[in-house]
Chains A and B, each alone.
Chain A
Amino acid sequence: MNRRAAFSIMELVIAIILLSGAVVAVGQFVVQVKQGLRDRALSRQIGWEIENVREQISSWPLADVTAARIAALECSAALQAELDEVRWEAEVLPLVTPVRATQVTLRLKSTLNEQRAEPASLTFWIESEASDAE
């Protein structure tokens, strides 16, 4: 029986390339899944934060609902740890029709990868009560 006792360099190179390819593919998959989880957690955190700010603003007297006061609100430490230069910006618009209300557009601003970003925004309305309207 003619036994083969040697491997060609081509066979070795192909084996090493296949093994390296498998390692790199698994590594990339892990990194992508991790990034995806981080993005999902961050998105959820931003959603909670924006809900919190909306609740806070809703509790204020209508006269106090101004862009300056909203911009002075601080973001939570957890969000500040995730995003750079994170802050609130707001646009406050009084409405008369169809009902007397105040329209608030809330924008979360930050710096992401050294670029300005607006990860989330929310527009909501606060209806003026009779006492506020007077």
Chain B
Amino acid sequence: MQNEPNRSLRQLRRRRRMAFTLLEVVAMLTVTAAVMSLSGVVMHRAFAAHRDAMQHLQQTEHLQQMVHRWRQDVRAAQRVSLLEVDGEPSPLQIDVAGDSARQITYRWSQELLSREVHRQGELLGSEQWSLPRAARVNFSIARTGRYPLVTSRLDFSEQKSASSLEWYACAMAVQAEQETGQAAEQAGEGIDD
């Protein structure tokens, strides 16, 4: 009875039909599985890289929303200045004149960038953006050109390396005479732009 399968296999081979025993099939499938597991490792790494890339893209898109708002504020500003704070990144203050006269302050603290809107000392609203990867924000104003150029610099501390991103915005609504006065006033206060 035990020889029945082998006999049928021999019969199959005798008829010149190529056939394999269960053991041979298991051996072949094991080799195939080993190759596939190697492919699996490669794909796992590819998925991990893809996940990281996706996360990075989401973070930068989130960041872009903040930069877009910041740029709009700077472009509409009648006056831009850095507030003096000891030992901390200087908050950026933007004064918008006209019908919607208001004062907008951007400040960075604890990986959060906040935007506060005041009118005549009264807080009208605020927004916050979380900045991942231990980001740090610094603002600076260059007054060498036709209009002040405000720079927002984000420094990221990553596990292996550090990187930075910069965004510029031209405060093109600033009046030249007012700006000259403001620059002189700030130079007197000793604020380093």
Describe B's contact surface by its main secondary structure: helix
Please report which residues of chain B, range 27-42, place their CB below 8 angstroms from some CB of chain A when the two chains form the complex. 28, 32, 36, 39, 42
Give bound CA distance, A45 to B50, whole Å: 18
Determine the chain A residues whose CB is within 8 A of the CB of B22 once the complex forms.
5-6
Let me know if A5 and B5 touch, CB within 8 A: yes
Residue of A at shortest CB range from B165? A78
Asked whether A8 is an interface residue with its Cβ less than 8 Å from the other chain, the reply is yes
Q: A23-B36, A59-B147, A59-B170 are in contact. Are A44 and B43 (CB under 8 A)?
A: no
Q: How many A-B pairs fall under 8 Å by CB?
A: 101
Q: A12-B28, A40-B57, A58-B172 are in contact. Are A34 and B146 (CB under 8 A)?
A: no
Let me know if B60 and A61 touch, CB within 8 A: no
Asked whether A56 is an interface residue with its Cβ less than 8 Å from the other chain, the reply is yes
Let me know if B32 and A30 touch, CB within 8 A: no
Let me know if B32 and A16 touch, CB within 8 A: yes
Determine the chain B residues whose CB is within 8 A of the CB of A64 once the complex forms.
145
Asked whether A26 is an interface residue with its Cβ less than 8 Å from the other chain, the reply is yes
Let me know if B39 and A27 touch, CB within 8 A: yes
Determine the chain A residues whose CB is within 8 A of the CB of B165 once the complex forms.
76, 78
Let me know if B50 and A76 touch, CB within 8 A: no
Asked whether A31 is an interface residue with its Cβ less than 8 Å from the other chain, the reply is yes
Residue of B at shortest CB range from A76? B166
Let me know if A41 and B50 touch, CB within 8 A: no
Cβ 8 A contact of B50, one of A16, A30, A58: A30
Determine the chain B residues whose CB is within 8 A of the CB of A61 once the complex forms.
145-146
Taken residue by residue from 16 to 57, chain A's Cβ proximity to chain B (1 for < 8 Å, 0 otherwise) reads as 100100010011001101100110110010001001100110
Residue of B at shortest CB range from A24? B39
Question: Interface residues, chain A, CB within 8 Å of chain B?
Answer: 3, 5-9, 12, 16, 19, 23, 26-27, 30-31, 33-34, 37-38, 40-41, 44, 48, 51-52, 55-56, 58-62, 64, 76, 78, 131-132
What are 6 inter-chain pairs, A to B, with CB distance below 8 A?
A: A6-B8, A12-B25, A44-B64, A51-B167, A59-B142, A59-B147
